[in-house]
Amino acid sequence: MNVLVLGSGGREHALAWKLKQSPLVKKLVCAPGNPGMAGLGECVAADLNDIAGLATLAERRKADLTVVGPEAPLVAGVADEFTRRGLPVVGPTKAAAELEGSKVFAKEFMKRHGIPTAGFTACWDHGDAYSALCAVEWPVVIKADGLAAGKGVRIAQEPDEATAIIEAFMEKGELGAAGEKVVIEECLEGEELSFIVLTDGKTVLPLAPTQDHKRLRDNDQGPNTGGMGAYSDDAIADAPLRARLMKEIVEPTLRGLEAEGRPYSGFLYFGLMLTAEGPRLLEFNCRMGDPECQPLVARLEDDLAETLANLAAGKLSGSSLQWSANASACVVLASAGYPGKPETGKAITGIEAAEKLEGVTVFHAGTKLADGKLVTAGGRVLGVTARGTDLRDAVDHAYAAVEKIRFEGMQFRRDIAARGLKRLEARR
């Protein structure tokens, strides 16, 4: 089978790494890929905004399967174009991807289908938004409607702060069209959980639970980022909780989409908060999480290429997803300046030494080759990922691998999986 992976981040490297392990995969092409992915297959230049160009690339490369990593091409309709041309693809249609593409749509959808979420007001212009502030309890969460690469969700402690955010999003247009509408939402408290499923619209296969770390610094301090690390073990959500999530959140979502004429196919990510009143859905993503994907593929025992080919053919019912009973963790190494403007072009050393450690894989995100040398090229640079006999072992291996890697200004969190490790201690 010829497989095409679209994207160039840590998530896509992790997907490509797992796909390449399948005996079914004859040729792997990554578009545009990154230096890590270049070690697995051929990387070809591509513009992820050029939907027709991506479909033509898949035709030329005779792709039997295309896996779309990031959300932007899905929200723009890449899966529709592939399906129109008879090209097998993993990812939802533009209509179904609106779950991620519009927070106003997502929240109103949750309300229509009785899916538990934070109380909210959808605001179509700044007048709506300023009036909504008169009737809220503080703090509030303000969310830009459209895709904003992790910059669209802000928490305001008091009215002046909220007013400044609304002004920036809705009047000054800081996020462009993404901030033209906003959702103002009740601020919830609790532990977060990423629950991702794979579905062809009929069969639903839940992935192992994961938890990511959005804030830049230890103890959840500092600004929000795209994610500074993630881990997976089954104790993040035990079997009764997973069954509850399927019944109260996943199934009503898929039924609702079907009823509204937007059947879903692909990875569907549920970003949840486990509050004292029960699980609440914060957001949908129409693709795998990044960095959740990295620890997930490290635990996946099945042939991902076979499962995804079945999904693209609408025959997921014959597939399964088996996860190792153990645990995995991914520590993201980021550039100085991230999540603001990252300093780039710094030489990276030590990846080979890190990967010599047992169970360790280093996934590339913001890297490039300059004069034959590997240098930093983005905010999140590497995802150092390790499997272990248990979570303690996985985390220790990941940090031992981090010790081997160097680049100027490297920043990372030292408390990845802290909540999971506490749970593990409590069980001992």
| Of residues 23, 19, 39, the one with CA closest to residue 367 | 39
Q: From 125-133, 184-192, 197-205, 409-417, give the range in contact with ligand AMP by CB under 6 A.
A: 184-192
The Cα 80–Cα 428 span in angstroms is 50
Cα–Cα distance for residue pair 188/178, rounded to 1 Å = 23
Q: Which of 71, 145, 200, 283 binds ligand AMP (CB under 6 A)?
A: 283
How far is residue 309's CA from residue 83's CA, in Å, rounded to a whole number? Answer: 14
Q: Is 80 in the site for ligand AMP (CB under 6 A)?
A: no
Q: Which of 3, 136, 184, 188 binds ligand AMP (CB under 6 A)?
A: 188
185 binds ligand AMP (CB under 6 A): yes
Answer yes or no whether residue 282 interacts with ligand AMP by CB under 6 A.
yes
- Calculate helix-pair angle for 94-101, 251-259, nearest 10 degrees: 130
Asked whether position 161 contacts ligand AMP by CB under 6 A, the answer is no
CB-based contact 236:427 (threshold 8 Å): no
Q: Shortest gap between Cβ of 409 and ligand AMP (angstroms)? A: 25
CA distance 93 to 75: 8
Q: Tokens 């129109």 label which residue? A: 84
Pick the stretch among 186-194, 234-242, 329-337, 394-402 that binds ligand AMP (CB under 6 A). 186-194
**Looking at 45-53, 179-187, 336-344, 354-362, which segment touches ligand AMP (CB under 6 A)?**
179-187
Rounded least distance, CB 139 to ligand AMP, Å = 8
In the bound complex, what is the minimum distance in angstroms from residue 147's beta carbon to ligand AMP?
10
Using CB under 6 A as the binding rule, whether residue 182 contacts ligand AMP is answered as no
Q: Please, which residue, 12 or 185, has the CB nearer to ligand AMP?
A: 185
187 lines the binding site for ligand AMP (CB under 6 A): yes
Q: Which of 36, 209, 229, 271 binds ligand AMP (CB under 6 A)?
A: 271
The number of C-alpha atoms within 13 Å of 332 and in the hemisphere containing its C-beta is 33
Q: Considering only 20-28, 182-190, 381-389, 416-424, which stretch makes contact with ligand AMP by CB under 6 A?
A: 182-190
Rounded Cα distance between 63 and 183, Å, is 40
Residue nearest to ligand AMP (CB): 283
* Cis before 263? omega within 30: no
Q: Is the peptide bond between 32 and the residue preceding it cis, with omega within 30 degrees of 0? A: yes
| Residue (1 or 188) nearer to ligand AMP, CB | 188
- Taking CA atoms, 428 is separated from 210, 389, 398, 417, 425, in Å, by 21, 15, 22, 17, 5
Q: How many residues bind ligand AMP (CB under 6 A)?
A: 13
* Residue 28 CB partners (closer than 8 Å, separation 6+): 2, 3, 5, 16, 19, 20, 40, 41, 42
Q: Which of residues 228-247 bind ligand AMP (CB under 6 A)?
A: none
Q: How far is the CB of 231 from ligand AMP (least distance, A)?
A: 15
Distance CA 332, CA 293 (A): 12
The answer to the question of residue 216 lying near ligand AMP (CB under 6 A) is no
Give least dist CB 187 to ligand AMP, A: 4
Identify which of residues 30 and 96 has a Cβ nearer to ligand AMP in the complex. 96
Figure out which of the listed residues 54, 57, 122, 141 binds ligand AMP, where binding follows CB under 6 A.
141
**Of 98 and 283, which CB lies nearer to ligand AMP in the complex structure?**
283
- The single residue among 38, 72, 153, 418 that binds ligand AMP, judged by CB under 6 A, is 153
C-alpha to C-alpha distance for 379 and 154, rounded to whole angstroms = 20
How wide is the angle at C-alpha 359 spanned by C-alphas 354 and 361, nearest 5°? Answer: 50
Evaluate whether 397 touches 388 at the Cβ level (below 8 Å). Answer: yes
**Residue 77 contacts residue 286 (beta carbons within 8 Å):** no
Q: Is 192 in the site for ligand AMP (CB under 6 A)?
A: yes
Residue 214 is a binding residue for ligand AMP (CB under 6 A): yes
**Residues binding ligand AMP (CB under 6 A):** 118, 141, 143, 153, 185-188, 192, 214, 271, 282-283
